[in-house]
Amino acid sequence: MEIEEKQAEVIDHFVKQVSAQKGSALGSVFVEATSHPSLFAFSEILAVPTVAELEGTDNSVHLEMLRLFAHGTWSDYKRNSGKFPQLVPDQVLKLKQLTVLTLAETKKVLSYDQLMRELDVTNVRELEDFLINDCMYAGLVRGKLDQLQRYFEVQFAAGRDLRPGQLGSMIQTLSNWLATSDNLLVTIQDKIKWADTMSELDKKHRKELEDRVMEVKKAVSVKTASRPILTSKGSMKSTLNLVE
Amino acid sequence: MASSSSSGLTFKLHPLVIVNISDHYTRVKSQLSLPPSLTSTSSAATSNNNNNNSNGGENNQNPPPRVYGCVIGVQRGRTVEIFNSFELIYDPSTRSLDRSFLEKKQELYKKVFPHFYVLGWYSTGSDAQESDMHFHKALMDINESPLYVLLNPAINPAQKDLPVTIYESELHVIDGVPQLIFVRSSYTIETVEAERISVDHVAHLKPSGGSAATQLAAQLTGIHSAIKMLNSRIRVLHQYLVGMQKGDIPCESSLLRQVSSLLRRLPAIESEKFQDDFLMEYNDTLLITYLAMFTNCSSTMNELVDKFNTTYDRHSRRGGRTAFI
């Protein structure tokens, strides 16, 4: 997954920065991190202990903002804009990109109307430009845009940071997938066996038929051996009839 | 005699070499199993290598013939890549190696593949033997440390990996006497695109000309093995995630993100349109099969009626004809 590779270095860089500093200085690091064009994963930064210390202090606003970027969407920001510090345009862009990712989580087919509502975009042209330039070329999503039916079909979307409860549902999905493929394997095995038995039966049937044909042929040849006597009698009779 | 090698060389073997060796062996073996009158003249003249000629009648009871040849390839640094091979004339009873033939072959190959060197030699059999060391030493003047590729021609259906082993020679001190012994080395198979296509082709060759059922079985078997591999990989992911949940494994967010993006692709095709198209195509196929079956039945019926007519028409006119049966 190319995005993860691209992000790995940036993540390391920021984790080092965050662990080196404390308190309010972290705020500026966060702003830098959330405006960085290739960074979309924040859970590693959130895991650093100095960040967790920010909880409950004056600078918890910054922590909230980081959490917003890790799990939230643009509409979350709009609803509670008081809780978060003002966002620079880079951050706005990034938050919108992350919103697209979250939307792609739930449905595979996203209608233009829904996207326009979530992203605060008024016309289709702007929406498509945003999707193409900022999401697809950045490698975040891959999919097809259908302008006539006004929807965006997502084929691949990069992962966002995991919410704590998501691990359980992921395990559930995986075990379902596993069960389905197990069943499929069993079904295929049965089908293979069925195909083999049917071909066996067919061969047997064919062989029986040929044996019967051979028998009948032999019986006929026995009959023809004894028949010349009959036919000569018959021909004698017929000649007699003709003569008469 | 074989322990694991310590030279640190990595070996890459191309499938062409394996196919060549088995082809050489098969040719020699099939020539030997010809009728006895032809055996003594043909095998001496046409086979590329002298083997212990079995006398006439015992074709399969003698030990299978051993074939010998040379392997050539490229050595870059610590990686040895074996590309090709050719046969050699060697008589194990007299231990004479036909040098002029070897040199002529080398020259010819050098013209076409200037980078290839003689890397070693090959033979068939189940295990490396003492007598092989003589051949090995004979080749040591061409290449200081030749390789010995051994192919085991016995077909073992239970065996999972290739019956090919590569041996190197090492100088070990045994009982105070330094001796050259064979040590086994590991190798990987490397394929060029052309080789991959031909091996793939041969692998699928088996059920050709079989009845429809065996072709179906073959195709299903292919799908089955593909899904089995997918299954094992999903299982690995599943266990990993469960371990992470329990806390046995430290959480790695980057991996989790990738897994979540993967799982999101999951109901891979689910839209209504797909269902419609799928059902339509399914119905079409069923209809066509039905139609074909109908045609078949009606033609069989037609033939039956014709046969019936011919046999029972003749019955009424039998009296007026001479027996021409």
Please classify residue A194 by burial: count the beta carbons closer than 10 Å to its beta carbon, then call 0-12 exposed, 13-18 middle and 19+ buried: middle
Q: Which of A41, A177, A196 sits opposite B213 (nearest CB)?
A: A196
Task: Assess A191–B contact: CB distance below 8 Å, yes or no.
Answer: yes
Q: Does B314 touch chain A (CB under 8 A)?
A: no
CA distance A74 to A65: 12
pLDDT exceeds 70 at position B66: yes
For B208-255, write each residue's pLDDT tens digit: 556 667 778 888 888 888 999 999 988 888 888 888 888 777 777 777
pLDDT value for A230: 52
**Over the stretch B131-169, which tens digit does the pLDDT of each residue have?**
778 888 888 888 888 888 888 888 777 777 788 888 888
d(CA B189, CA B11): 8
- B80 by DSSP, 3-state: which? strand
| Model confidence band, residue A82 (pLDDT cutoffs 50, 70, 90) | confident
- The H-assigned helical ranges of B33-98 are 36-46
pLDDT of residue B49: 40
The whole-number average pLDDT for the span B306-318 is 76
**pLDDT at residue B37, rounded to an integer:** 52
Whether A159 sits inside 8 A of B257 (CB atoms) is yes
Residue pair B136/B146 in contact (Cβ under 8 Å)? The answer is yes
Please state, in angstroms and as integers, the Cα–Cα distance from residue B21 to each residue in B33, B52, B121, B271, following that order.
19, 19, 11, 53
Residue B322 to residue A235, Cβ atoms within 8 A: yes
Task: Write the residue in B242, B261, B322 that is nearest to A171 by C-beta.
Answer: B242
Q: What is the pLDDT of residue A239?
A: 46
How far is residue A132's CA from residue B187's CA, in Å, rounded to a whole number? 47
B220 and A198 within 8 Å at the Cβ level: the answer is: no
The per-residue pLDDT for B206 is 62
User: How far apart are the CA of B226 and the nearest CA of chain A, in angstroms?
Assistant: 10
pLDDT of residue A238: 45
| Backbone dihedral angles phi then psi of residue B96, each to the nearest 5 degrees | -110, 130
CB B67 within 8 A of CB B123: yes
